[in-house]
Structure 1
Amino acid sequence: MLSAVGTDLHIHLLPGIDDGSASVQESMEILTRHYASGIRRIIATPHIRSDFFLNSRQTILPAFEKIRAEANIRYPDLSLGYAAEYFADDYFVMLLETDDLLPLFDEYVLVETSMRTEQPYFRDILRLMIDKGWKPVIAHPERYRPWWSNRKIYDELFEMGVIFQVNLLSLAGKYGPREQEMAELLIQQGKIKAIGSDLHRTVQYDDILKATQNPYFSELSSQPLLNRNEI
């Protein structure tokens, strides 16, 4: 199932610090299902945004430690790490200017923008990231509704060198038909270079398995991916 991907680099696994897993028990249930599905590396990516989830190393590390010890005992061959999913706001710019970021690995940083309202300065933030040596990984580009009617944005950002990360839940139609359609189109165009589950709760897992039955998942997982350090 997910062994072709190997790594989940977008998942809200850490308990109690954002809108993801609510408890250590739920986190371990998600880990168990991921492991059974073939995942062998997980990078937890809690939200960091100034208006809802003002997380930092000081909140993320204790939540990570709550599950790391148990995960090491149950699944010694599972690599577990943490980063963040940053919302591109003024607070993120402050962190960016001081190089106080939690990358997925190396220089790759997961970042998102508003799904309902276009942020005209988003591209400026991406350029600043690139100028400072970071490699932007845009979370779930298929979900940004303002981009659907202005699809040249995808071309422009792709040409900038950013990496698009698709959600498995989009391929399962979890968010709606438009999101699934856009995810499949971006895969068809060769623009998707990373896959993430974006799992928040255990109850979503059946949709993750459903996504693996989508022919576009097979097509994408056979291509070079950031998940396998091939980008």
Structure 2
Amino acid sequence: MSGGMSGEDRSVGAWLRTAGAVTVLTGAGISTDSGIPDFRGPNGVWTRDPKAERLSTLQDYLADPEVRAEAWRRRLDHPAWSARPNSAHEALARLEDADLVTAVVTQNIDGLHQRAGSRRVIEIHGTIWWVTCVDCGLRTPMRDVLARVEAGEADPRCLRCGGIQKSATISFGEALDRAVLLAAQEVARACDLLLAIGTSLQVHPAAGLCDVALRAGARLVVVNAQPTPYDEVASAVLRTPIGEVLPRLADEATATGMP
């Protein structure tokens, strides 16, 4: 329904307006309009280059300096550095400003929700804007480490202890931060509506937040181009492009004169 509101869009807008608490779960699909490719879509990072997944696997990263060097080289040109929030990020920030969104739980590492104005953002997979030493835990701004890569260091080590450094993101084989996961589960448990946007809902424990919300009696709405394992239990499934439908939902939810 490009360009207009469908009946299902209006229903979701009404749910957003009347729900006591709304938690949003976002995945890579919300950032593709900002120029950041997703992972599993037709043009996804891992679809086009299956070897890229190895760079995000903790065991390979820690064991192989060549994997680390390649990962650092690729980070120099990561699309997040030039990306800007798109209309979907801005719509969610607008809903939060209207007290209609309680929290955004994101699987994304790009920081675009915060740059759009969202304040309560739970980054369950971490952030690409920081680097962490795997030995001593020192956190360093990514820009400082990339400056060393540009200066010729293939595998920049921690300046405090000499340990291996990696982006402050969750790699395959790495456990999520327990406090962050508990915070995400709490906002899922407390919500009346869980809005899952641009996520395949195939990666756990993030996808499990849908189960947490459903068990607590919440509605689930899925906004995603491709089918997900949770479509059958969702109250609504929207296939409209995210950058089109989110602003419309925000308009509907924040419209004045509504009951």
State if a TM-score over 0.5 links the two structures.
Answer: no
TM-score, with structure 1 as normaliser: 0.30
Structure having the higher Rg: 2
